[in-house]
Amino acid sequence: MKKMIIVATYNEKDNITNILAEIYKNVPDVHVLVIDDNSPDKTYEIVEQLAKEKYPNQLFLMRRSGKLGLGTAYVAGFKWGLERDYEAIGQMDADFSHNPKYLPEMFNTLNNYDVAIGSRYVKGGGIINWGLKRKIISRGGSLYSKIILGLPLNDLTGGFKCWRREVLATIGIDNLMSTGFCFQIETTYKAFINGFRIKEVPIIFEDRIFGQSKMSGGIFKEALITVWKLRLNKNSFLRIKK
């Protein structure tokens, strides 16, 4: 199975070298696309150097003009991967909250399922070093979305996932409502209602050590509104052909 991973970055110079080393340690044959939103700390320069000197033909960089939103970064990466015929496409953060040690199991899950979600809220999963507010936002957002959308899944707000290409070619990635936090909920929901098989793989999520969290106060409000939009437009999402 031809595999790639999308790593979206913004000011990740303290993490990017080590996260790439761990990715290749755990999945030696994978290709990585780093999508950098013109980081002020010049994360992209480190990636360019590593692509040239350490990981030629395995590491690629997409440098964008500015901070355009996490969802749009992943969509750009999905398109890049589909155009190059990757059969399995992963997505993850660069800050070690998504530990690369889980990647082999997540990619292997795609042998029997269409989507693998790194889940904090199933048996064997968990969170380290989060305050109460962030736990409430994340757990509450997942539970709220699960109830409103009728999904048999526990972690809908996480961004550590692996997809079979058929899913991304079907769910209409050019027509997503969300560009931020709700992007994670929307893509999973559209995969589910189109009949794709989804498996939650337990992970331990540890908060970043270096750099700043990208979470903002408007995240929960966005989820409250967007989840209802998704439910009300359910029928229009069925079997969208790319």
Q: How many domains does the chain have?
A: 1
* Residue located via tokens 């408007």: 218
Per-residue burial over 118-149, b if 16 or more Cβ lie within 10 Å, else e, is: bbbbbeebebeebeeeeeebbbebbebbbebb
What are the backbone angles phi and psi of residue 35, rounded to the nearest 5°?
-110, 110
In a domain, 47, yes or no: yes
Q: Are 156 and 178 in contact (CB under 8 A)?
A: no
In a domain, 65, yes or no: yes
* Residue located via tokens 């070619």: 169
Domain that holds residue 8: 3-237
The rounded mean pLDDT for the chain is 91
pTM over 0.75: yes
Per-residue burial over 151-171, b if 16 or more Cβ lie within 10 Å, else e, is: bebbbbbbbbbbbbbebbebb
What pLDDT, on the 0 to 100 scale, is given for residue 139? Answer: 81
In a domain, 9, yes or no: yes
- Residue 184 gets the label, from left (phi > 0), alpha (psi -120 to 50) or beta, of alpha
What pLDDT, on the 0 to 100 scale, is given for residue 162? Answer: 98
Question: What CATH number is associated with residue 30?
Answer: 3.90.550.10
* Residue located via tokens 């990208």: 214
In a domain, 50, yes or no: yes
Q: Which residues, including other chains, have CB under 8 Å from residue 131's CB and lie 6 or more apart?
A: none
In a domain, 242, yes or no: no
What pLDDT, on the 0 to 100 scale, is given for residue 211? Answer: 47
**For 75, how many CA atoms within 13 A lie in the half-sphere containing its CB?**
20
Residues of the chain with confidence (pLDDT) below 70: 208-220, 240-242
In a domain, 225, yes or no: yes
In a domain, 222, yes or no: yes
Task: Give pLDDT tens digits for 190-238.
Answer: 999 999 999 999 999 988 554 455 554 456 677 778 999 999 999 988 8
In a domain, 109, yes or no: yes
